[in-house]
Structure 1
């Protein structure tokens, strides 16, 4: 596992996960590949938190869905050529 993501994967609360994931967010002008990797890894973090932080289970599942949708948007934009100036969609 990438050491930069270790803290996010070790989070035990949704708050800790948010803070760790936020710190890993790529620059707005980062490549589409970097954004896709970010969203896909964030899915894994929030899936884990949904199991670990049971008080925030449903909220963590929302974040799983949101990050998965973002990853799909970035992937689609890469195949169609459409994106915003940062290589991200939405």
Structure 2
């Protein structure tokens, strides 16, 4: 369990602020959304190792972002198979 780097969020509040700040614009392509959700999952995971008071809530957000990433990845695959 490695703590986040100095510039990475250390708390739930900081992780939420980062996720909000880097949210893609509406209409962004699916690859952009996939990267967004994957990065959020990593951010919440790292913060959960430090912010023990919000550990369980952060773990919820890790799972949420991982599910969203899987949904977007499935949509990308679906679009690729339909284009073939």
* Interval of TM-score (by shorter of Structure 1 and Structure 2): 0.7 to 0.9
Q: CA deviation at 1:80?
A: 1.2
Answer with 1 or 2: which has the greater Rg: 2
1:27 aligns with 2:48: no
Quote the Cα distance in structure 2 between the aligned partners of 1:20 and 1:52: 16
For structure 2, the residue ranges without an aligned partner over 5 or more in a row are 80-84
Runs of 4+ in 1 over 6 A off after TM superposition: none
Whose RCO is larger (CA < 8 A, sep 6+)?
2
Number of residues of Structure 1 aligned to a counterpart in Structure 2: 75
1:12 to 10, 13, 18: 10
1:34-53 alignment, distance < 5 Å: 34-53=32-51
RMSD: 1.6
Q: Distance in 1 between matches of 2:19 and 2:37?
A: 10
